[in-house]
Structure 1
């Protein structure tokens, strides 16, 4: 697992031990950033189910203004912090340990780009989407990028949130939501 491009290009990222965390493959990560390439630089990013932090770190490496990482697991938060330090991106990041849904419900900030990649069978993706819509988490024209199993149905959200295109990569599906005017 490595940073694909930007200021930390080629840096190897530390991974979590065990099977609890499923890192996004480099192929899927590269595809995600090809899709949102013009929506990263100078933006405020949220990596809600941070894991190793690789999606948020990739965004920071590509010029995002800052990124907030949230993960429940202490070991994941430690790995995110180590990866931020190794990539020299820590000064533009905030890392929180705690329940992602509780953090989201208490969030009083809006983001330009949100990554949602929770454990596939947890039901947390749908909850996070609906809660994000309820609290209006996105700035105008903001984007939510969801990673899920290809057979996971994702909900339509109420306006101004619009479900966009879905991209399939083997057993993985990337779904975009946008906040329109």
Structure 2
């Protein structure tokens, strides 16, 4: 796994030795960033960050800051190594907590993010509950976007305050895009 484009292009990223973390595939990551097109100047939140590859890609492509959230000790260690390897320590914050706790914290502290990546474990019924928490905490900035990687058998349901704008399927992975509802 590597950084596809930007200032850290070509840098190899650390990956887990175990199967407990599912890294974002380069093919899917590339497709997502082709759809997003421009992430320059954005503040990014990576929930269920795993290796941190998606938010690191955003930093490499010009995002100004990324916050990585995961509760796995292995994931936090790998994220830290990948941030260091890509020299993004000054633009990154690692938040070693459960996603629900982190989202509530950001909401209480009125933190807003322009781009939120959500990639929970597949088929664990966490996708829609996480989206509901994001909407409730009001952490998506005006004009912001949410990108959700999920299993096709776990579709995105309607969430108050959010609008589903697109879903793409890549084999056993769906990627859905949401924005604030008008």
Alignment TM-score > 0.5, same fold: yes
User: Is 1:179 aligned with 2:180?
Assistant: yes
Q: Is the 8 A contact 1:140 1:180 kept in 2?
A: no
State how 1:1-181 maps to structure 2 within 5 Å. 1-38=1-38, 40-107=39-106, 108=109, 109-159=111-161, 161-181=162-182
**Aligned partners of 2:4 and 2:96: how far apart in 1?**
26
Q: Which consecutive residues of structure 1, in runs of 5 or more, have no partner in the other structure?
A: none
Aligned length: 179
Deviation, structure 1 residue 33: 0.5
Structure 1 runs (4+) deviating above 4 angstroms are: none
User: How big is the alpha-carbon RMSD for the aligned residues of Structure 1 and Structure 2?
Assistant: 1.0
Q: 1:18-66, CA deviations, whole angstroms, 9 ceiling, x for partnerless residues?
A: 111111111000000011122x110000001110000000000000010
SS in 2 for 1:120: coil
| TM-score of the aligned structures, taking structure 2 as reference length | 0.95
Deviation, structure 1 residue 179: 1.4
SS in 2 for 1:42: coil
Deviation, structure 1 residue 158: 1.6
Q: Which consecutive residues of structure 2, in runs of 5 or more, have no partner in the other structure?
A: none
